[in-house]
């Protein structure tokens, strides 16, 4: 699970979104990133199992979220392209 978030954060397909090369909302980013990614309404929202969630806010704040089968919620928050906070540390 956590590997999916780490992979997406480093994926070439995500680069332009992460660094603000293109301006898109969460729905536009999800369309660009494929069917496995769903837009979220808030950074506290959780996507369905088996999907990665993305939320994009002001100031190039991007939050990637995934839920494990155990119910644990993993997240990676980026601000201006740099990892701001995450709970992926032990992975």
- Beta pairing, strands 82-86 & 37-39: unpaired
Residue-wise pLDDT for 7-30, tens only, equals 898 899 999 999 999 999 999 999
How far from the centroid of its chain's Cα atoms is residue 74's Cα? 10
pTM for the model stands at: 0.91
Q: Which helix or strand (DSSP H or E) is residue 65 part of?
A: strand 61-67
Domain boundaries, the chain: 2-86
Q: Is the pLDDT of residue 91 over 60?
A: no
pLDDT given for residue 2 in this prediction: 74
CA terminus-to-terminus distance, the chain: 10
Q: Is the pLDDT of residue 90 over 70?
A: no
Residue-wise pLDDT for 24-76, tens only, equals 999 999 999 999 999 999 999 999 999 999 999 998 999 999 999 999 999 99
Distance CA 81, CA 55 (A): 14
């Amino acid at each position: 699970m956590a590997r999916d978030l780490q992979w997406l954060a480093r994926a070439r397909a995500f680069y332009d979104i992460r660094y603000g090369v293109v301006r898109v909302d969460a729905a536009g980013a999800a369309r660009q990133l494929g069917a496995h990614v769903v837009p979220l309404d808030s950074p506290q929202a959780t996507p369905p199992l088996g999907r990665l969630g993305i939320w994009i806010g002001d100031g190039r704040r991007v939050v990637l979220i995934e839920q494990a089968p155990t119910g644990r919620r993993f997240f990676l928050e980026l601000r201006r392209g740099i990892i701001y906070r995450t709970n992926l540390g032990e992975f």
